[in-house]
Protein backbone atom coordinates (compact mmCIF):
# COMPACT_ATOMS: atom_id res chain seq x y z
CA UNK A 1 0.00 0.00 0.00
CA UNK A 2 1.22 3.51 -0.76
CA UNK A 3 0.51 6.39 1.57
CA UNK A 4 1.13 9.96 0.50
CA UNK A 5 1.35 12.84 2.92
CA UNK A 6 3.26 16.05 3.45
CA UNK A 7 6.12 16.02 5.94
CA UNK A 8 7.47 19.38 7.05
CA UNK A 9 6.18 20.95 3.86
CA UNK A 10 7.39 18.33 1.39
CA UNK A 11 5.56 15.49 -0.31
CA UNK A 12 6.38 12.04 0.98
CA UNK A 13 5.33 8.67 -0.38
CA UNK A 14 5.53 5.63 1.91
CA UNK A 15 5.34 2.08 0.55
CA UNK A 16 5.45 -0.46 3.32
CA UNK A 17 3.37 -1.75 6.20
CA UNK A 18 0.65 0.86 6.80
CA UNK A 19 0.59 -0.12 10.48
CA UNK A 20 4.15 1.23 10.95
CA UNK A 21 4.00 3.89 13.67
CA UNK A 22 4.77 7.37 12.37
CA UNK A 23 7.53 7.84 14.95
CA UNK A 24 9.55 5.02 13.38
CA UNK A 25 9.31 6.55 9.93
CA UNK A 26 10.41 9.92 11.26
CA UNK A 27 13.36 8.62 13.23
CA UNK A 28 14.50 5.71 11.07
CA UNK A 29 13.78 6.84 7.51
CA UNK A 30 14.17 10.58 7.84
CA UNK A 31 16.56 10.87 10.77
CA UNK A 32 14.15 13.41 12.27
CA UNK A 33 15.29 12.41 15.76
CA UNK A 34 13.82 15.44 17.50
CA UNK A 35 10.70 13.32 17.86
CA UNK A 36 11.51 11.00 20.76
CA UNK A 37 10.14 7.49 21.24
CA UNK A 38 10.20 7.23 25.02
CA UNK A 39 7.26 5.07 26.14
CA UNK A 40 5.78 4.02 22.78
CA UNK A 41 2.33 3.75 24.27
CA UNK A 42 0.85 7.21 24.33
CA UNK A 43 1.67 8.20 27.91
CA UNK A 44 4.73 10.44 27.78
CA UNK A 45 4.07 12.81 24.87
CA UNK A 46 7.75 13.01 23.88
CA UNK A 47 6.82 11.85 20.37
CA UNK A 48 4.19 14.54 19.77
CA UNK A 49 3.93 15.99 16.25
CA UNK A 50 1.28 18.07 14.49
CA UNK A 51 -1.02 16.30 12.08
CA UNK A 52 -3.09 18.90 10.24
CA UNK A 53 -2.26 21.25 13.09
CA UNK A 54 -3.41 18.93 15.88
CA UNK A 55 -0.93 17.62 18.44
CA UNK A 56 -0.85 13.82 18.32
CA UNK A 57 1.49 11.17 19.74
CA UNK A 58 3.32 9.79 16.71
CA UNK A 59 3.97 6.46 18.44
CA UNK A 60 0.26 5.68 18.24
CA UNK A 61 -0.26 6.96 14.72
CA UNK A 62 -0.12 4.23 12.05
CA UNK A 63 1.25 5.77 8.92
CA UNK A 64 -1.64 4.32 6.92
CA UNK A 65 -3.99 6.85 8.53
CA UNK A 66 -2.00 9.83 7.30
CA UNK A 67 -3.00 9.79 3.65
CA UNK A 68 -3.30 13.39 2.47
CA UNK A 69 -2.32 14.84 5.86
CA UNK A 70 0.13 17.58 6.69
CA UNK A 71 2.65 16.40 9.29
CA UNK A 72 4.91 18.85 11.11
CA UNK A 73 7.66 17.72 13.45
CA UNK A 74 9.72 19.77 15.88
CA UNK A 75 12.30 20.22 13.13
CA UNK A 76 9.60 21.72 10.91
CA UNK A 77 8.33 24.13 13.57
CA UNK A 78 11.33 26.44 13.20
CA UNK A 79 13.78 25.13 10.68
CA UNK A 80 17.19 26.28 9.54
CA UNK A 81 17.97 29.65 11.00
CA UNK A 82 14.34 30.60 11.39
CA UNK A 83 13.48 32.27 14.67
CA UNK A 84 12.33 30.01 17.47
CA UNK A 85 8.62 29.66 18.09
CA UNK A 86 7.81 32.18 20.88
CA UNK A 87 7.28 29.29 23.30
CA UNK A 88 10.69 27.81 22.49
CA UNK A 89 12.27 31.22 22.96
CA UNK A 90 10.49 31.64 26.27
CA UNK A 91 11.64 28.20 27.51
CA UNK A 92 15.19 29.12 26.61
CA UNK A 93 15.01 32.47 28.36
CA UNK A 94 13.48 30.95 31.50
CA UNK A 95 16.17 28.24 31.84
CA UNK A 96 13.36 25.68 31.78
CA UNK A 97 15.24 22.91 29.96
CA UNK A 98 17.14 20.17 31.77
CA UNK A 99 17.94 16.89 30.00
CA UNK A 100 15.69 18.16 27.22
CA UNK A 101 14.28 14.83 26.05
CA UNK A 102 10.68 15.80 26.77
CA UNK A 103 10.89 19.31 25.34
CA UNK A 104 10.31 18.72 21.63
CA UNK A 105 7.05 16.99 22.58
CA UNK A 106 6.21 19.66 25.16
CA UNK A 107 6.70 22.36 22.54
CA UNK A 108 4.55 20.57 19.96
CA UNK A 109 1.73 19.89 22.45
CA UNK A 110 1.76 23.27 24.15
CA UNK A 111 2.12 25.34 20.99
CA UNK A 112 -1.10 23.77 19.67
CA UNK A 113 -2.77 24.16 23.06
CA UNK A 114 -1.86 27.86 23.28
CA UNK A 115 -3.15 28.53 19.80
CA UNK A 116 -6.48 26.89 20.63
CA UNK A 117 -6.78 28.11 24.22
CA UNK A 118 -5.36 31.62 24.40
CA UNK A 119 -7.35 32.36 27.53
CA UNK A 120 -6.29 29.25 29.48
CA UNK A 121 -5.59 29.61 33.21
CA UNK A 122 -2.83 27.86 35.14
CA UNK A 123 -5.00 24.91 36.17
CA UNK A 124 -6.15 24.37 32.59
CA UNK A 125 -2.57 24.44 31.36
CA UNK A 126 -1.63 21.84 33.94
CA UNK A 127 -4.50 19.53 33.02
CA UNK A 128 -3.56 19.89 29.37
CA UNK A 129 -0.08 18.67 30.28
CA UNK A 130 -1.11 15.25 31.65
CA UNK A 131 -0.04 13.70 28.38
CA UNK A 132 3.42 15.25 28.48
CA UNK A 133 5.62 13.81 31.19
CA UNK A 134 8.90 15.36 32.29
CA UNK A 135 11.16 13.42 34.65
CA UNK A 136 13.60 16.26 35.31
CA UNK A 137 12.04 19.64 35.90
CA UNK A 138 9.07 19.18 38.21
CA UNK A 139 6.93 21.06 35.64
CA UNK A 140 6.30 24.39 37.39
CA UNK A 141 8.78 26.39 35.35
CA UNK A 142 7.24 25.01 32.17
CA UNK A 143 3.79 26.04 33.40
CA UNK A 144 5.06 29.51 34.42
CA UNK A 145 6.49 29.98 30.95
CA UNK A 146 3.23 29.07 29.24
CA UNK A 147 1.32 31.41 31.57
CA UNK A 148 3.73 34.25 30.76
CA UNK A 149 3.59 33.55 27.03
CA UNK A 150 -0.20 33.66 27.03
CA UNK A 151 -0.15 36.90 29.06
CA UNK A 152 2.26 38.51 26.63
CA UNK A 153 0.18 37.29 23.73
CA UNK A 154 -2.99 38.75 25.26
CA UNK A 155 -1.26 42.08 25.92
CA UNK A 156 0.09 42.30 22.38
CA UNK A 157 -3.29 41.46 20.87
CA UNK A 158 -4.96 44.02 23.16
CA UNK A 159 -2.45 46.73 22.22
CA UNK A 160 -2.69 45.81 18.57
CA UNK A 161 -6.48 45.86 18.90
CA UNK A 162 -6.57 49.32 20.47
CA UNK A 163 -4.20 50.63 17.81
CA UNK A 164 -6.52 49.36 15.13
CA UNK A 165 -9.46 51.27 16.54
Partner 1 sequence: MSELSATVMNLPRRDAQDKLRGRTKYTIDRVRPDMLHAVLLRSTVPAGRIRRLDVSAAHDCPGVRAVATGADAPGLYGIGIADHPLLAIDTIRYHGEPIAVVAAETEAQARAALAAIVLEIEPLAPVFTMAEALQPSARLVHEDWRNYEIITEGGARAGNIAWEAKSSRGDVDAAFARPDVRIVESSFTVGRQSHVPFEPRVAIGSWEDGRAHIQTSTQVPWTVRNVTGRVMQLPPGRVRVTVPPVGGGFGLKFDASIEPITALLARMTGRTVILENSRQEEMATCLCRENAEIRIRSAVTAEGEIVGREAVVLMDCGAYGGEQVFLTTMTAHTLGGNYRVGAMRLVSRAIYTNTPPNGAFRACNGVYNTFALERHTDEICEALGFDTIAYRKKNVLRNGDLGATGQVFEADVLGPMLDRMETLRANTGTSEAKADGRLYGTATTVGTWFVFVGPSAATVNLNADGSATLVTSGVEIGSGTMMQSLPQIVAGQLGLAPDQVIVREADTDAAGLDVGVGGGRTTVSIGAASVAACTEVKEKLLRTAGEMLQTRPEDLLLQGGRVEISGRPGSGATIPAVVAHAQATTGPISGSGAFTAKNTPAMSGCAMGHFIDALDIPVFVVHEAEVAVDPDTGHVEVLAYRVVQDVGRALNPRAIMGQIQGGVVQGLGYALHEEVTITTDGRIAQDNFETYRLPLAPDVIPVTADLYEGAPSMGPLGTKGAGEVPILAVGAAIGCAVARAIGKPVRQLPLTPPRVLRLLHERETQPEFPHIAPGWAANTLG
15: β partners: 2
Q: Which is nearer to partner 1, 26 or 66 (CB)?
A: 26
Q: Is 43 in the site for ligand FES (CB under 6 A)?
A: yes
Residues that bind partner 1 (CB under 8 A): 27-28, 32-36, 38-41, 43-44, 46, 73-75, 77-78, 84, 88, 91-93, 95-104, 107, 123, 125-127, 129-130, 132-133, 135-143
Applying CB under 6 A, which part among 25-33, 36-44, 83-91, 146-154 lies near ligand FES? 36-44
Stretch that binds ligand FES, among 4-12, 42-50, 80-88, 122-130 (CB under 6 A): 42-50
CA neighbor of 146 nearest in space, from 126, 160, 161, 162: 126
Q: For 72, list phi and psi in degrees, rounded to 5.
A: -120, 130
Q: Give the neighbor-by-neighbor strand order of the sheet with 10-15.
A: 10-15, 2-7, 70-72, 48-51, 54-57
Nearest to 65 by CA among 99, 20, 106: 20
By the rule CB under 6 A, 143 interacts with ligand FES? no
Write the binding mask 99 to 138 for ligand FES: x where contact by CB under 6 A, - elsewhere.
Answer: xxxx-------------------------------xxxx-
DSSP symbol at 45: -
Amino acid sequence: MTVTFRLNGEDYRFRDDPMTPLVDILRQEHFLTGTKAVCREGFCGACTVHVDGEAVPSCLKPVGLLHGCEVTTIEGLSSGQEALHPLQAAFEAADAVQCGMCFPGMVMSLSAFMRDNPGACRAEIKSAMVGNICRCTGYERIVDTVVDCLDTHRQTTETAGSMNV
